[in-house]
Amino acid sequence: MNLRAADEADIPALLAFWKLAAEDTNRVDDDTAAVAALIRRDPEALVLAVDGDEIVGSLIAGFDGWRCHLYRFAVHPDRRRQGIGKLLLDAAEARFRSFGGRRADAMVLDDNTLAHHAWSASGYRAQPEWRRWVKGL
């Protein structure tokens, strides 16, 4: 198992992986164009954990010049609790530090207790005073 940046050839397998492994509540649908746009804009942002040809984990470590955002944190259901999530978070945080990032954040559903365990284990804490405000474009 190793970590590497995704490239456009990974997109079909990645979309299938997210259907199997990722949290999908109330999201804008992921599609090929959206993932390709991310890879073109920031080729190192989308980190994959791969075992041979198989994607077993993913995390987007997005730095927009101001904030450090984490998205699409997912590990294959058969590969959880093996430290892959922690490895992905460590890699993302190292990337953010290299840009001088000072704080990483993630959107986490209140009832996603599985995710709460993993985020907490890596030192993340909820900020209950905030709500996300959104508008579709």
Ligand X SMILES: CC(C)(COP(=O)(O)OP(=O)(O)OC[C@H]1O[C@@H](n2cnc3c(N)ncnc32)[C@H](O)[C@@H]1OP(=O)(O)O)[C@@H](O)C(=O)NCCC(=O)NCCS
Using CB under 6 A, count the residues that bind ligand X. Answer: 21
Q: Does residue 115 belong to the site contacting ligand X (CB under 6 A)?
A: yes
Query: Least separation, in Å, of the C-beta of 136 and ligand X?
Result: 21
Whole-angstrom CA distances from 70 to 47, 55, 88 are: 11, 18, 10
How many of the other CB atoms lie within 10 Å of CB of 12?
Answer: 11
Which residue of the chain is nearest ligand X when measured via CB?
85
Q: Where in 24-83 is the site for ligand X (CB under 6 A)? A: 73-75, 80-83
Which span sits near ligand X by CB under 6 A: 16-24, 33-41, 96-104, 127-135? Answer: 16-24
Contact 14, 98 (CB under 8 A): no
Task: Out of 84, 95, 101, 104, name the contact with ligand X by CB under 6 A.
Answer: 84
Query: Least separation, in Å, of the C-beta of 119 and ligand X?
Result: 7
Tell me the DSSP string of 79-124: GTTSSHHHHHHHHHHHHHHHTT---EEE---TT-HHHHHHHHHTT-
Query: Least separation, in Å, of the C-beta of 76 and ligand X?
Result: 8
- Residue 32: CB partners within 8 Å, gap ≥ 6? 11, 12, 15
Which residue, 38 or 60, has its beta carbon nearer to ligand X?
A: 60
Q: What does the block give as tokens for 45?
A: 């942002």
**Mapping DSSP to helix (H, G, I), strand (E, B) and coil, where does residue 6 land?**
coil
Query: Least separation, in Å, of the C-beta of 106 and ligand X?
Result: 6
Residues that bind ligand X (CB under 6 A): 21-23, 73-75, 80-86, 106, 108, 112, 114-115, 117-118, 121
